[in-house]
Structure 1
Amino acid sequence: MAVTERVIVGVTGASGIQYAQRLLQVLAQQGLETHVVFSDAAFDVWRAELDVPCDPKKPDLKAFAGADGKFLLYKNSQVGAPPASGSFRHRGMVICPCTMATLGRVANGTGDGLIGRAAEVTLKERRKLLLVTRETPLSLIALRNMVHVTEAGGTIVDANPGFYTRPQTVQDMIDFVVARVLDHLEVEHELGRRWGERQE
């Protein structure tokens, strides 16, 4: 598998699991090998925010994403899984959505699960790490953690949709944020028009 065709997606327990759902759908449509890790709390959010059946013991990623992708699923407790190794090459890692607790662990190098470990390894190997945070207002602690991650080479992609595209649906607003993630991963997509481009 070519390095450019492989990504890691960590899903944590912040509200906004629809962002992860759409991200996995597009990655599947583009044929990328996607290594997925759900935290325990992410399954709680899945059940609360989506109408897709959720079995934490055997998650159905095809049903979750609405697409049949090249998904490889790990438990967050599998700290010895391939994404935890620096020799596991990939295009980049996204934590989407990212809780403030996960942000803090990544910022301070104290990850105790596969998501945190894979994020730390991604940073030390100088690969792309995107944290899709969704929280407001932000505490000074959270802001400082964002600075720490940015200084270490990560990118904070706050889940704030733009309105110059005149979104008509919630899905349009989800797509705006996911499009920014895909742009940073250099994955082709057609999630809405870009500023300055004419709308057909």
Structure 2
Amino acid sequence: MTDGSKRLVVALGGASGAIYAVRFLRQAVKHYDEIYVTMSRNAAAVLLTEMNIRMSEPPQASDLVGFDAPQIRFCRPGDFFTPPASGSFRHAGMVVIPCSMGTAGRIANGISDDLTTRAADVCLKEGRKLILVVRETPWNLIHLRNLTQLAEAGATILPAVPAFYHQPTTIEDLVDTVVARVLQNLGVEQGLMREWQAEE
């Protein structure tokens, strides 16, 4: 029986910022043997609109990451009988990337109406790592209260806010600073972004 350390759950939300998910998955396949991917109803439309990525039916890993990645296993958004929906399925953590405020709100209030929210709820009740890469701005009071409630429940709130101290020159450089932070929060060594060191 595996201890789950080489398994990861990734949910693509319907918020703008599909590039964060694509860049993250390209890195994640280097570190995990099994990656269970689910997509919200709007995620496929966002991928097409923002990145000209058209998902096949059934979806293929190469659609998302641009190459064959047998580690990626797609789960249908309404399938509550798939492994990530069960508390007995052990894994290293779950990343919702990008995460809309609607998804964050449902998770915060225990509304498990699809696989993303159910799998996230399982993470919280089992004390597993849950990272929400929230992207919308500005935040209203309801958003802030939902995010506070999630943080109190044990989730990591990781806004898609890039860093600039490494002098990025491309959009990919900016995106990768966020991807690097996600990997760091999962305990994965990454080479996308150097750690800040003050000049001596």
CA distance in 2, matches of 1:31, 1:121: 20
Q: How many residues align?
A: 197
For residues 1-200 of structure 1, what are the structure 2 equivalents within 5 Å? 1-55=2-56, 57-69=57-69, 70-196=71-197
Checking the alignment, whether the CA contact within 8 Å between 2:55 and 2:63 is kept in structure 1 is: no
Q: Which amino acid aligns with 1:164?
A: Y
Secondary structure of 2:5's counterpart equals helix
Structure 2: where are the runs of 5+ without partners? none
Checking the alignment, whether the CA contact within 8 Å between 2:14 and 2:43 is kept in structure 1 is: yes
Please state how far the C-alpha of 1:31 moved relative to its aligned partner: 4.0
Secondary structure of 1:3's counterpart equals coil
Structure 1 consecutive aligned stretches of length 4 or more whose deviation exceeds 4 Å = none
CA distance in 1, matches of 2:10, 2:192: 19
CA distance in 2, matches of 1:61, 1:49: 18
Judged with a 3 Å threshold, the aligned counterparts in structure 2 of structure 1 residues 144 and 85 are, in CA distance, closer, same or farther, namely same
TM value normalised by structure 2:
0.94
CA distance in 2, matches of 1:186, 1:131: 16
Checking the alignment, whether the CA contact within 8 Å between 1:39 and 1:75 is kept in structure 2 is: no
CA distance in 2, matches of 1:48, 1:95: 19
Judged with a 3 Å threshold, the aligned counterparts in structure 2 of structure 1 residues 31 and 82 are, in CA distance, closer, same or farther, namely closer
Structure 1: where are the runs of 5+ without partners? none
Q: Which amino acid aligns with 2:58?
A: K
60-69 or 107-116, which deviates more? 60-69
- Provide the identity percentage: 45
Please state how far the C-alpha of 1:2 moved relative to its aligned partner: 4.2
Residue by residue over 1:147-173, the C-alpha shift from the partner in whole angstroms, topping out at 9 and shown as x without a partner, is 000000001000000111111110011
Please state how far the C-alpha of 1:60 moved relative to its aligned partner: 2.2
Checking the alignment, whether the CA contact within 8 Å between 2:93 and 2:128 is kept in structure 1 is: yes
Checking the alignment, whether the CA contact within 8 Å between 1:133 and 1:159 is kept in structure 2 is: yes
Please state how far the C-alpha of 1:38 moved relative to its aligned partner: 0.5
Secondary structure of 2:130's counterpart equals strand
Checking the alignment, whether the CA contact within 8 Å between 1:94 and 1:131 is kept in structure 2 is: yes
Please state how far the C-alpha of 1:40 moved relative to its aligned partner: 1.3
Residue by residue over 1:78-112, the C-alpha shift from the partner in whole angstroms, topping out at 9 and shown as x without a partner, is 01211011000000000000011100000000120
Secondary structure of 1:40's counterpart equals coil
How large is the Cα RMSD of the aligned pairs?
A: 1.4
Checking the alignment, whether the CA contact within 8 Å between 1:28 and 1:67 is kept in structure 2 is: no
Residue by residue over 1:29-50, the C-alpha shift from the partner in whole angstroms, topping out at 9 and shown as x without a partner, is 2243100001110011011011
Please state how far the C-alpha of 1:77 moved relative to its aligned partner: 0.5
CA distance in 2, matches of 1:134, 1:122: 21
Checking the alignment, whether the CA contact within 8 Å between 1:29 and 1:67 is kept in structure 2 is: no
Secondary structure of 1:175's counterpart equals helix
